[in-house]
Amino acid sequence: MINFLTAIAIVIGLNALICLYRAMVGPTSQDRLLAVNIVGTKTLVMVVLITFVQGENFFLDVALVYALLLFIVTVALSRYLEAEGWEEMRSDG
């Protein structure tokens, strides 16, 4: 079971690298914000998998705090970009 969870964590980590590529290259701010949010979510899942592999319960507390911070940062960035305007979406000239 531990080997299976470790393999899943590796696959999720590789998938996060693909999302990091989208965060760097993404043509719009929305793509970048969504890619960073996905990477954060994948990191959260990896922390939970490590919790089960290591058998330590305190990692779940870390995962909950990380999830809360991830949510707050995503909402704050979305509101900021909404207030400032999505630069790539404007067609002023």
pLDDT, one tens digit per residue, over 34-51 is: 899 999 999 999 888 888
Q: Within a 13 Å sphere around the CA of 20, how many CA atoms are in the beta-carbon half?
A: 9
> Taking Cα atoms as reference points, which of 36, 21, 29 lies closest to residue 88?
29
Weakly modelled stretches of the chain, pLDDT under 50: 91-93
Residues 74 and 26: their CA atoms lie apart, in Å, by: 17
> What is this structure's pTM?
0.77
Q: In angstroms, rounded to a whole number, what is the distance separating the alpha carbons of residues 70 and 82?
A: 18
- pLDDT number for residue 57: 86
